[in-house]
Amino acid sequence: MVGCGNVIHSDFLRIPLTSVDQDSTAIGRHAAQLALSPIGAKGPVQPTTELLTPRLVVRASSLRK
């Protein structure tokens, strides 16, 4: 079983939950940079795509016994 978001409580469950860490801090940082980038631009700003690589945090919920 795998969860999403890598919440802080994942380690404290009866069976620690494997989770996908989406790095919310990096998502917020990139979103802020993208939102503020038009301010200093001297012309139209082209749309960009930012791809952030998630990380799988393996815990007991996905291990074989």
Are 18 and 56 within 8 A, CB to CB?
yes
Give the length of the chain. 65
pLDDT at 65 over 80: no
pLDDT, residue 28, reads 95
Distance CA 55, CA 60 (A): 16
Max intra-chain CA distance, the chain: 60
What does the pLDDT look like over 19-52, one tens digit per residue?
A: 999 999 999 999 999 889 888 888 888 888 888 9
Find how far residue 32's CA is from the centre of its chain. Answer: 15
Read off the pTM.
0.69
pLDDT at 11 over 80: no
User: Per-residue confidence at 57, pLDDT binned at 50, 70, 90?
Assistant: very high
**Are β-strands 2-4 and 18-21 bridged in parallel, bridged antiparallel, or unpaired?**
parallel
